Amino acid sequence: MYFSLNKIIQIFIYFIPLFLIFSIFVADLLVLLIALFFLTNQLLNKNYKVFINKYFVFFFIFWNYLIVNALFSYDLNLSLSRALPYIRFGLLFLAISHYAQDIKFQNKYFKFILLISIVICFDGLIQFFLGYNLIGYSANHVSRISSFFNEELVLGRFLLSTYPLFLISVFYMKSNKIIANQFFQIFLLVLYSFTIYLSGERTAFFNFLLFNSLLIIIIFNKKLIKKIIIFLFIFIICILTSSLHNKNILERYLSTKSIFHSDKITVFSQTHENHYKTAYKIFKDNKIFGSGIKTFRHVCKKPKYHPEGCATHPHNIFMQFLSELGLIGALFYFIAFSYFIISLLKQLIKKIYYKKFNQKNSIEAILIISMIVTLWPLSPSGNYFNNWLSILNILPFGFLIFYEKSLKNLNLSESKN
């Protein structure tokens, strides 16, 4: 039973990225089954040590706070129904980190990620140039493509969230002569970057630029200069060429400069600014616990809370934590964000002063940066507690735990020798 249950869990993990594209219901069902099977498996085998993990302990405390927070919520039933099953995401990243120890699992997983990434990027290009994708979905917006997501304009967000896994898959498969070729790697990066650009999701694209800027700072060396120049040259050519085919996408990005055209600077847009004002007013009336998880959409309708800023969520992760979870919730956010910033600085120090930076260090840096971009407070964001986004955010986190532990064991082994 141990063998078969492990294999079932691994297969479910393989297919999560695929169903995040085609069916969030199935993807979330897989997460729930992984959580239940993994918990059962570890308890039956008395493997309690797997739960003694600093990340899971922090997550477990946060989960308990969500439940307590629900008791003070504007809508107890709504908040509690979201808070109780939230534990499944903690069990998901534990399961991923646990099975990542299996080389065969990693090999299959990263091959699958690379395949999905290439297919969805080519599909996006086909939709952009032909007007419809491989399964007949048309481009429903003049300045955006959606690929297999059809009417859901989330292609850019999906590619941004899976970008760290895509990069690792390229690192991981260097034994393959084609993928190991530096020009083919540049081609893959241009393809991926260009598809995010064509998605027209400005936040995803700008966060993608942030991701790569931080990554270059961490892993930069003289050998990268040539690759970066070639990449930028080809990428700029792609943007200019696409503008000849459809200038609306470029104009969509250029439209962000309009925030400086009024007497005062607008925070991203007037709509976003209204969301933030509403969130702040809700926070001022509920400073300790906030209004409760997932309640912003209901509380914001009250006249005193600037209802023109009403939406399903505040469209900013920090403002969402403040308004829905209060100062205590914001403290959890601040601790997590600060931790990853400090972790990245340690990576930089390790490289500059100790000259100790191998492939595993690069992979760890990629995963740390993915967490920083996920929690980045200075840009609009989706609903942090949305199931689809929660799963996307967790996937690279599981591998971060594995690589961090792997490097720690390697350093201990070297120190003993």
DSSP 158-213: HHHHHHHHHHHHHHHTTTSHHHHSHHHHHHHHHHHHHHHHHTT-HHHHHHHHHHHH
**Per-residue confidence (pLDDT) for residue 250, from 0 to 100:** 83
Least confident of 235-239, 268-272, 322-326, 341-345: 268-272
When pLDDT is cut at 50, 70 and 90, the band that residue 262 belongs to is low
Tell me the average pLDDT across 8-37.
Answer: 96
**Per-residue confidence (pLDDT) for residue 266, from 0 to 100:** 56
| pLDDT higher than 60, residue 365 | yes
First to last CA, the chain: 39
Tell me the average pLDDT across 115-137.
Answer: 93
**Per-residue confidence (pLDDT) for residue 354, from 0 to 100:** 67
**Per-residue confidence (pLDDT) for residue 274, from 0 to 100:** 86
**Per-residue confidence (pLDDT) for residue 82, from 0 to 100:** 93
When pLDDT is cut at 50, 70 and 90, the band that residue 328 belongs to is very high
**Per-residue confidence (pLDDT) for residue 88, from 0 to 100:** 97
Least confident of 161-170, 362-371, 381-390, 400-409: 400-409
| pLDDT higher than 80, residue 323 | yes
Task: Read off φ and ψ for residue 141, nearest 5 degrees.
Answer: -140, 140
Distance, CA of 351 to chain centre: 25
Tell me the average pLDDT across 274-282.
Answer: 90
Tell me the average pLDDT across 260-273.
Answer: 64
Q: 13 and 109 in contact (C-beta within 8 Å)?
A: yes
- Cβ atoms < 10 Å from Cβ of 175: 8
Q: What is the mean pLDDT of the chain?
A: 89
Instruction: Give the integer Cα–Cα distance in Å for 365 and 371.
Output: 10
Q: What CA–CA distances, in Å, run from 145 to 24, 206, 410?
A: 19, 17, 44
Least confident of 140-154, 230-244, 332-346, 370-384: 140-154
Tell me the average pLDDT across 402-413.
Answer: 75
Instruction: Give the integer Cα–Cα distance in Å for 362 and 354.
Output: 15
**Per-residue confidence (pLDDT) for residue 317, from 0 to 100:** 95
Spell 73-94 as b/e; 16+ CB within 10 A means b. bbbeebbbebbeebbbbbbbbb
Q: 171 and 113 in contact (C-beta within 8 Å)?
A: no
| pLDDT higher than 70, residue 258 | no
**Per-residue confidence (pLDDT) for residue 1, from 0 to 100:** 46
When pLDDT is cut at 50, 70 and 90, the band that residue 3 belongs to is low
| pLDDT higher than 60, residue 114 | yes
| pLDDT higher than 60, residue 416 | no
Tell me the average pLDDT across 204-227.
Answer: 91
**Per-residue confidence (pLDDT) for residue 391, from 0 to 100:** 96
Least confident of 175-189, 222-236, 314-328, 364-378: 175-189
Least confident of 3-7, 40-44, 212-216: 3-7
| pLDDT higher than 90, residue 5 | no
**Per-residue confidence (pLDDT) for residue 175, from 0 to 100:** 63
Least confident of 68-77, 220-229, 248-257: 248-257
| pLDDT higher than 90, residue 293 | yes
Question: Which stretches of 45-154 are DSSP H helices?
Answer: 54-71, 76-83, 87-99, 103-130
How many separate helices (H) and strands (E) can be counted in the chain?
A: 17, 0
